[in-house]
Amino acid sequence: MAWGALLSNGFVEERPRAVLLGLVGYWVAWLLLFRRRSMGSALSTLEHELTHALFATLTFHRVKLTSIRTSWNNGGEIAFHGEGNWLIYLAPYFFPTLTVGVAVWSSFQPGEWVPYAMGATWAYHATSTWRETHAGQTDLQRSGWVFSWLFLPGANLVSMGGLLAVALGGAPALEAFLTATWTSTEALFVP
């Protein structure tokens, strides 16, 4: 319901088109170039591991900075002190780090480039998450398959919807989206 409200609201005139152009532009580049095995995955693997590191830090786990390893075609890993938790393991599958980076950067350097970059990084997150989600993925195994498949769709709807709201209408649209999300969820449980 919150997505419906987000997409039916009026926005700054050019923003939806710019977000869509950024999204389609990256998707076409992915189809033509980035999805090829020969292109490797070192950068997307690094972004994946840095997302683990961010959430490890946010949940008070000290990251071993010398342990961040990525490879061109064989995945990567990061180590931190402690046992970890499901949030650390699942973060790269619902938290679009580059898109959040663009949103934060745009608060200091606003401009017409923001919706294009938000669309492109949004598409990047979708394609890289698609490639990283498979039966051999230890992050999903550690968190439990059932929990992962129950949690991740909703988490992606909220995180990606929130960032789309930022791209389309800035902070006021994000606030409206989160309020609608909370109200919609609350309506499911309150008679």
Q: What is the pLDDT of residues 151-177, one digit of tens each?
A: 999 999 999 999 888 888 888 888 888
Q: Is the pLDDT of residue 102 over 80?
A: yes
CA distance 8 to 6: 6
Burial of 49 (0-12, 13-18, 19+ CB in 10 A): buried
b/e map of 79-100 (b: 16 or more CB within 10 Å)? bbeeebeebbbbbbbbbbbbbb
Query: Three-state SS for 85?
Result: coil
Percent of the chain's residues with pLDDT above 90: 40
Let me know: does 163 contact 114? Beta carbons within 8 Å: no
Per-residue model confidence (pLDDT) at position 70: 77
Phi-psi region of 144 (alpha: psi -120 to 50; beta: other; left: phi over 0): left
16-20, 40-44, 87-91: which has the minimum mean pLDDT? 40-44
Contact between residue 148 and residue 156 where contact means Cβ atoms under 8 Å apart: no
Joined together, the tokens standing for residue 4 give: 């419906």
Number of Cβ within a 10 Å radius of residue 78? 20
Q: Residue 138 and residue 152: Cα distance in Å, rounded? A: 15
CA 27 to CA 117: how far, in whole Å? 13
pTM metric for this prediction: 0.84
pLDDT at 127 over 70: yes
